[in-house]
Structure 1
Amino acid sequence: MYMLLKIPFRLLLVYSAIYIVSTMYFQTTIPSERLDSEQLLEVTGTNQIKIDGDRLRGFVQYEGEFIYVTYRISSEEEKMRLERFQWQDAALRLRLAPSELQRSSHPYAFQMAHYLKMNRANHYAEIIEFVHLEEQKTWRSTLESWREQLRKQIEHIFPQDLHWEAKALLIGDKSDFTTEINEQLQILGISHLLAISGLHVSLVMLLIRGTLLRLRMTHETTHYLLLVTLPLYAIIAGASPSVLRASLMAFFVLLFLKPGSKLSPIDALSYSAIALLFWKPTLFYFPGFQLSYGAALTIILSAQLLRRVKNPVVQLFLISLFTQLSLYPILLFHFYEFSVSSIVINILYVPIYSSFVLPSYLIILCTSYFLPLFSEWYVMIFVPIQRFLLQVTGMLAELPYQMWVGGAISVTVMGGITLSILYAFIALERKQWKRAIFIFVIPFILLESRPYWNEELVVTFIDVGQGDSILIELPHRQGVYLVDAGGVLRYEQKEAWKERQSLYEVGRQVVVPLLKAKQMTTLDTLFVTHADSDHMEGADEVMERVRTKLIVYPPGSEQKELMAELLNLADERKVAHQPITAPKQWQVGKTTFRLLWPHQDAIITDDNDRSLVLEIIHGEYTILLMGDLEEEMERQLAKNYERRPGTYVLKAGHHGSRTSTTEEWVQATRPDEAVISAGRHNRYGHPHEEVIERLKSHQVNIRSTAEEGTIEYRFK
């Protein structure tokens, strides 16, 4: 082992780069496969199998390859049995059937195919039956058992409202994190404090070293025991990129910690990265890997600058500033935004967590085994203080304008910004302050001005499954409108054991990522066409994450429960809202908007017939958005509708239902293209065949979100 590390670093780096890049290339270019037919396979379990509600998902291993499997649990008793089972290295005999991998709604939503590639899975399937389950005793399953025992001990000694934080800090388990917790940490830019990293590893190693020395072990024995303990601790702590990076760095430092041998921090960081990527090359694609190594590299390379500062508070501020400036290209590439307030927030939170919160959790956990009375006493003092801190965290996260949305960037742009940051740091080292500031600021100015360069009207029909959501972006960012926000139709009242902790939310997981990728921080108007859940259930999720100036809706729909809840939320957030009726017309720049329906004097008894019908006119182009308007009201509109010359795009009413897109309306509008917003394999059979045939008979080109995903039009 030691002789291996004597290989010239440059040679090792070249060989490693060739291996890692080639492995990543072949791994990510091999197409994912699904089983051609139902098969009975002998597979090995992993610790990446999770149970949420009535669904089991995760990875199993088969002949050196990974398969992503899903399973619907049939009863509460079966769920309890599966939850108790030790999956790591278990021998499983599974009856597997082909399973369709769902396409992502748009490029900025969660990419399941990419996730499978990152985890080296080339197959995906559904479990039809567990034919045989048998736990196996291996070193990995033993470590996983220890981890489970630690998890139970944490749940025993800490109150339930602190379980999520205690598990994250002590064993790297974030399974109890809610959407609200994740968003608070992201807004404040303190997610890294809840990820086990160098600070955690240092504290744990100091604790172990001090204990071993007090037990009168020699320094040499202690040294070697630490070398053995580090990888074990990394696995028990969850083996996340930050854990592995910190543990491996400490491992290499200890390995070279002998007379006449020196290992610089940059060498230790490089060796740890090489070791990790040799083990799992696709780790390079993980945001956690990139952020963890990027932060460590920034701190190491800026050490000379930091040494010039003697004030510890200023030094902490500079560390936070340099780290955020270095990492924001990575954050934009993956998340399209980053926290501006984190630069200041970290000055407060890093000392609190490093000197009080983390040590307290460690002391309480350790003493709970051999000094339980002291542990209980410490808990009584610690818990109220920590609850207060978490309340403050929640209040700080509610403050507005903390996130800067830079939008989606390409790998090329990310590389360019990174090079500019590197050049700015070089200028700082040379004490060229004005040049450094100028170089830092230029990318921000260019990114911030991007939306105003666009000269086109962009209309995006977002794939929200069985629902509607249309995004309208005016030229030069003169306005941003969202017509509906999609939603999930939830029909059945599930039993308690079937309820999932992670619910699918269209607004948060589909609409908001698209808005942020397009650098949209404000909606000028949110049009809610009517109060059906597949059109507006996601509206509250959008409004909570994107500033909204005005909500408009058809009169009468405010009596519906969903609309009433949305308007109450709007009042809480001081968002203006009003009902709107036709005829109404307004113009922004070269774009004209006309509200065609509902008329103020119309007698409406059906919710779908309340739908707002919006016409957008931009030069020779006309776009008609029909909501869920039904046939009778369409016929009324058709009687008085005058078609203008030019190209027409029709958003077909009611997802292509036979009760809309009537012959009269098609003849009156004579669309060139029709867009149908419907879910793939939806239970209603939308779009109905009669509608498809009707449109085809008029030579209308038909496009569907069910087939194409999100559809975007650009009109000059």
Structure 2
Amino acid sequence: MRLVLLGFAIGVVILQTLPALPPAWMLAAFLVFGVAGMMLMRRLERHDANDANSVQDSGDAIVASGLDWRRAFPKAIACLLAGIAAGLCWACLVAQYALGDALPPEWEGRDITLTGTVSSLPSRSQDGLRFQFAVESAQADAGPAVVPRHLALSWYGSYGMQRGKDGQAVPDLRPGERWQLAVRLKRPHGNVNPFGFDYEVWLLEQGLRATGSVRPGAANRRLDAFVVAPGHVVERCRGWLRDRIHAALPGREYAGVIVALVIGDQREISQPDWKIFNRTGIGHLVSISGLHITMVAGMMAALVSALWRRSFFTGLALPVRLPAQQAAALAGMLTALVYVLLAGFGVPAQRTLYMLGVVGLALWTGRLTQVIDVLCLALAVVLLLDPWAVLWPGFWLSFGAVAIILYASAGRIAPGPAQSRLGGIARQLRAAAHVQAVVTLGMVPLTLLLFGQVSLISPVANAFAIPLVSFVVTPLSLAGSILPAPLGQAALLAAHGLVAGLAACLGWLSSLPQAVWSTALPAWWMFAAALAGCLWMLAPAGWPARWLGAGGLLPMLLNAPAHPAEGELWATFFDVGQGAAVLIETPGHALLYDAGPLYGPDSDGGSRVILPYLRARGIQSLDGMVLSHSDADHTGGASSILDEIRVGWLSSSLPPDHALVRRAPRHVRCEAGQAWDWDGTRMSMLHPTPGSYDNPKWKPNARSCTLKLTHGTHALLLTGDIEAPQERELLGARAADLPATVLLAPHHGSGTSSTEAFLRAVHPELAIFQAGYRNRYHHPKAEVFERYGRLGVQRMRTDVTGAVTLVFAQDWSASAERVEHARYWQGR
């Protein structure tokens, strides 16, 4: 049965890597194959039983061992293949059902009036509110509209019934309210970049099949204060707890951490705090994590078990009616369920609940006696209910940590009873330290595979953070959120004080120079070698030469970042939405041209797109960064990049008093005529002219730093946001320098740029448009896009292709992320 369950997991993983869902006939073939495998397995079991009886009668042990081997291998293969077929079929059916609830393309961007309920706890920000909406009906001017059942909506403006940037009032939404809203919707779409977060599959997993924004107008009105439904009750309770915490901790720095521990909402934790928590390896504690759910459930189970066993003194004799073990299992499960509901029934918390459910069932029935059986069944249950769980690091970290602990504790001789209470405490501390050491070492390969870095101070930080947060801060936070005002406020203040002290210690640890060790994401064979090495080192005492396992880690630890070969030039055009960011790489240098847009107060193209890519590649410094001009869609991510990695110099057209100029280690004003050579590639600045800086009439777009890269017979022209007048100026002053193989379309393909004369002078083979999906500027303009096509230019736009990667050598090639790593959910 274990192999069937493991095969089921493998089948689910295979399905999530496919570019398209298998057709019906292939699905039917999988089903037939799976049934055949199960029938073969049953037949082999019957043969095993008959052969075993025959051999037992003959008493031939050698024959018995031969038969065991010959029967076990085909049986194992049959079990594994049957599980793979079942996993493929199940994940495919779930995906087809989820994708069926879609927004038709013809309904994108149209005004629709919805009636429905607020189904989640709204997230507040400086821009307004974000919330989930359960649709009951949808109407348009022409009649009923076709929309998905669940939506992710944004209501932009200032929070609290104040007039926002769109001239509309943003009310204080509460879960369970029924509203009529005027909205515009679009199909699920996210930026697609190498090593980036996949927003589209996250929406699919959450059941949110369209996103949109609330439009201003009188049509937006509350219809009912509360609609009774189980989910609404839970979300309203979560909102009540959040409000109590905010009332008790007004303006406190770490109130967001307390909110995260009580209701699992991490959106109020600032990015600087997240940076500290992640660098010290305690990010898993700052939420309703599996550890906290297990701890709370275990404490309740232990309390119920103790009271249940002592009920004889009251005359109830409860163990006679229900064994204490079953009562404790039931109490622990109910407690875990309530805590997971407080967490908003999020997917990570669900995984823990399902695992605890399997354990509780095992204790209740007494059927599953081996922990490995419990783990395999929990794995299958999680994937049965959420086949997309395999796409997230938390899934692999959760099951990986448990598996490593089981492996490291198997086959060990249990110590005898402690001689004293003090000896028992010392033994428990040694056991806890051993488990922490096992998890730290055993999870190194997986952590490097998923994140490309390992916190070297994590064992120290977790040694005091785990007991403090799990056994003191979390209980205080939970108690403070429900106790009456004086007691509750005191408990919350105490919890906040402890968190503040913990954060101070973690901040000091995080500031240490070698707090985190980083490398490029390893190849699969490096991960396999490192995992084998860790398993060898964690083998039971007496295993020969366990120290040799360290050799398996060497390829991963010595993994060098990939870079262009001699004679090559790489250019990566990131999919940053409505903005620009291009990474240029030669064999020995790296340059970033523009840094993407600003998405919000704590989010930008640098932190969300560029830095994850650089970390995954093992690029820890940039020789230079060019910011074409001051618009936020080109400079929004620059601050995050300057914060995180070393940048040799900054070249821009920014004014001298600009914040980014003051922060740069060295700033050079970009001017036409500047040039330098990197590894056989000539970098030439074509625009702006020095005199343009003295002309106050020029807007920032007009001073966009225009950079040409010449590599052998090929060239790449990066134009920023220059418009028609600047194109004419270049035609007059530098026409001979304009021809290029690839052109970054000026100003994202706006109607005020890409004149026909300019395009004929550049004569590109490929034009790349960096623009956001259904952006409000309608870039690229249809007539401009068509102009490129009419001139025979190949066109790629990042909102359609995802990130684009160019490789220049003797020849040149272009690849699109949505093509090279296509997945069945993209564009649907």
TM-score, shorter chain, exceeding 0.5: yes
1:613 Cα offset (Å) = 2.4
1:170 Cα offset (Å) = 3.7
Pick from 137, 145, 150: which aligns with 1:67?
150
Structure-1 separation of matches of 2:775 and 2:452: 34
Equivalent residues in 2 for 1:310-389 (5 A)? Answer: 319-320=435-436, 322-324=438-440, 326-327=442-443, 331=447, 336-341=451-456, 344-355=457-468, 358-363=471-476, 365-366=478-479, 383-389=496-502
Pick from 491, 504, 511: which aligns with 1:391?
504
Structure-1 separation of matches of 2:730 and 2:90: 60
* Partner secondary structure for residue 558 of structure 1: coil
1:226 Cα offset (Å) = 3.3
**8 Å Cα contact 1:337-1:407 kept in structure 2:** yes
Structure-1 separation of matches of 2:624 and 2:221: 51
1:97 Cα offset (Å) = 7.0
**8 Å Cα contact 1:508-1:538 kept in structure 2:** yes
Q: What is the letter of the counterpart of residue 539 of structure 1?
A: A
> Cα distance 1:148–1:637, how it changes in 2: closer, same or farther (>3 A)?
closer
- The aligned residue for residue 176 of structure 2 is 86
Q: What is the letter of the counterpart of residue 646 of structure 2?
A: R
> Cα distance 1:118–1:19, how it changes in 2: closer, same or farther (>3 A)?
farther
Residue 102 of structure 2 is aligned to residue 28 of structure 1: no
- The aligned residue for residue 568 of structure 1 is 662
- The aligned residue for residue 58 of structure 2 is none
Residue 264 of structure 2 is aligned to residue 172 of structure 1: yes
1:462 Cα offset (Å) = 2.5
Structure-2 separation of matches of 1:44 and 1:558: 49
- The aligned residue for residue 101 of structure 1 is 188
Residue 549 of structure 2 is aligned to residue 436 of structure 1: yes
1:543 Cα offset (Å) = 1.8
1:544 Cα offset (Å) = 1.9
Structure-2 separation of matches of 1:278 and 1:62: 28
* Partner secondary structure for residue 677 of structure 2: strand
1:708 Cα offset (Å) = 3.6
Q: What is the letter of the counterpart of residue 278 of structure 2?
A: Q
Residue 582 of structure 2 is aligned to residue 470 of structure 1: yes
**8 Å Cα contact 1:40-1:94 kept in structure 2:** yes
**8 Å Cα contact 1:241-1:292 kept in structure 2:** no
Residue 642 of structure 2 is aligned to residue 543 of structure 1: yes
Structure-2 separation of matches of 1:614 and 1:651: 10
Structure-2 separation of matches of 1:637 and 1:368: 65
**8 Å Cα contact 1:242-1:292 kept in structure 2:** no
**8 Å Cα contact 1:466-1:679 kept in structure 2:** yes
Most deviating of 366-375 and 448-457: 366-375
Structure-1 separation of matches of 2:297 and 2:806: 56
- The aligned residue for residue 818 of structure 2 is none
* Partner secondary structure for residue 265 of structure 2: coil
**Which is greater in Rg?**
2
Most deviating of 614-623 and 128-137: 128-137
1:111 Cα offset (Å) = 2.5
1:521 Cα offset (Å) = 2.1
Structure-2 separation of matches of 1:307 and 1:271: 26
* Partner secondary structure for residue 608 of structure 2: helix
* Partner secondary structure for residue 302 of structure 1: helix
Matched positions, count? 676
- The aligned residue for residue 497 of structure 1 is none
> Cα distance 1:143–1:374, how it changes in 2: closer, same or farther (>3 A)?
closer
> TM-score, length-normalised on structure 1?
0.79
Q: What is the letter of the counterpart of residue 486 of structure 1?
A: G
- The aligned residue for residue 804 of structure 2 is 711
CA deviations 1:92-132 (Å, max 9, x no partner) are: 99898753333424354432321133235556677887896
**8 Å Cα contact 2:326-2:363 kept in structure 1:** no
Structure-2 separation of matches of 1:709 and 1:22: 29
Structure-1 separation of matches of 2:789 and 2:135: 48
CA deviations 1:391-418 (Å, max 9, x no partner) are: 2323443455644554567xxx558724
Residue 511 of structure 2 is aligned to residue 511 of structure 1: no
1:599 Cα offset (Å) = 4.1
1:285 Cα offset (Å) = 3.1
1:526 Cα offset (Å) = 0.6
**8 Å Cα contact 1:143-1:236 kept in structure 2:** no
> TM-score, length-normalised on structure 2?
0.69
Structure-2 separation of matches of 1:152 and 1:602: 54
- The aligned residue for residue 379 of structure 2 is 273
**8 Å Cα contact 2:304-2:331 kept in structure 1:** no
**8 Å Cα contact 2:721-2:747 kept in structure 1:** yes
Q: In percent, how many aligned pairs have the same letter?
A: 21
Q: What is the letter of the counterpart of residue 269 of structure 2?
A: F
1:172 Cα offset (Å) = 3.0
- The aligned residue for residue 766 of structure 2 is 673
**8 Å Cα contact 1:67-1:125 kept in structure 2:** no
Structure-2 separation of matches of 1:599 and 1:710: 31
Q: What is the letter of the counterpart of residue 591 of structure 1?
A: T
Residue 131 of structure 2 is aligned to residue 57 of structure 1: yes
Structure-2 separation of matches of 1:370 and 1:671: 69
> Cα distance 1:306–1:338, how it changes in 2: closer, same or farther (>3 A)?
farther
1:426 Cα offset (Å) = 3.0
1:457 Cα offset (Å) = 0.8
Structure-2 separation of matches of 1:376 and 1:72: 32
Pick from 188, 204, 209: which aligns with 2:280?
188
> Cα distance 1:146–1:233, how it changes in 2: closer, same or farther (>3 A)?
farther
Most deviating of 201-210 and 256-265: 256-265
Q: What is the letter of the counterpart of residue 556 of structure 2?
A: P
Pick from 698, 701, 712: which aligns with 1:608?
701
Structure-2 separation of matches of 1:530 and 1:124: 31
- The aligned residue for residue 687 of structure 2 is 597
